[in-house]
Amino acid sequence: MNKGRTPDHVVFKYLRKNKKFPHIFCQGCGHGIVLGALIRAIDKLKLNIDNLVMVSGIGCSSRAPVYVDFNTLHTLHGRALPFATGIKLANPDLKVIVITGDGDASAIGGNHFIHSCRRNIEITCIVLNNNIYGMTGGQYSPTTPVGGSSATAPFGNIERPFDICDLAVGAGASFVARGTAYHVTGLIGLIEQALQKPGFSVVEAVSQCYTAYGRRNKFKSPSDMLRWQKENSIDVRAWDKLPPEKRAGKIKTGILADHEYTEYTREYQKIIERAAGGDHEKE
Partner 1 sequence: MPDKKSKRKLLLQGNEACAMGAIDAGCRFFGGYPITPSTEIAELLSEELPKVGGKFIQMEDELGSICACIGASIAGSKSLTATSGPGFSLMQEGIGYGCLTETPVVIVNVMRGGPSTGLPTCTAQGDMQQSRFGTHGDHEIIVLSASNVKECYDNTIKAFNFAEKYRTPVILLLDEVVAHMRQNVELPARSELVIINRKKPEVHPDWYVPYDRDLQVPVLADFGEGYRYNVTGLIHDDLGYPTNDTSEIEALTSRIMRKIEDSTDDICTAELIDCENPDVIVIAFGSVVLSAREAIRKVHLKNTRQNQRITKLKKLWPFKKDWRPARIGLVKLETIWPFPDKILDQLIESCRNTCKKIIVAEMSFGQVFREIERINRGRLPLDGYFQVNGELAYPEAIFKKITGVLS
Interaction site with partner 1 (CB under 8 A): 16, 18-20, 49-51, 53, 55, 65-66, 69-76, 79, 81-91, 93-94, 111-112, 115, 268, 271-272, 274-276, 278-283
Mark the segment that binds ligand TPP (CB under 6 A) among 3-11, 52-60, 144-152, 165-173: 52-60
Is the Cβ of residue 134 or residue 161 nearer to ligand SF4 in the bound state? 134
Mark the segment that binds ligand TPP (CB under 6 A) among 65-73, 97-105, 178-186, 252-260: 97-105
The item of ligand SF4, partner 1, ligand TPP, none sharing an interface with residue 73, based on CB under 5 to 8 Å by kind, is partner 1
In angstroms, give the least distance from the CB of 113 to ligand TPP. Answer: 12
The item of ligand SF4, ligand TPP, partner 1, none sharing an interface with residue 25, based on CB under 5 to 8 Å by kind, is ligand SF4
Q: Is there a contact between 148 and 201 (Cβ–Cβ < 8 Å)? A: no
**How are the residues of the chain apportioned to helix, strand and coil, as percentages rounded to the nearest 5?**
40, 20, 40
The count of other CB atoms within 10 Å of the CB of residue 82 is 17
Q: Nearest 5 degrees, angle CA 120-CA 126-CA 132?
A: 125
Binding of residue 82 to ligand TPP (CB under 6 A) = no
Q: Which residues pair with 153 in a beta bridge?
A: 150
Render the burial of 98-127: b for 16+ CB within 10 Å, e for the rest: bbbbbbbbbbbbbebbbebbebbbbbbbbb
Type of residue found at 250: K
| Interface positions with ligand TPP (CB under 6 A) | 58-61, 77, 101-104, 128, 130, 132-136, 141, 209
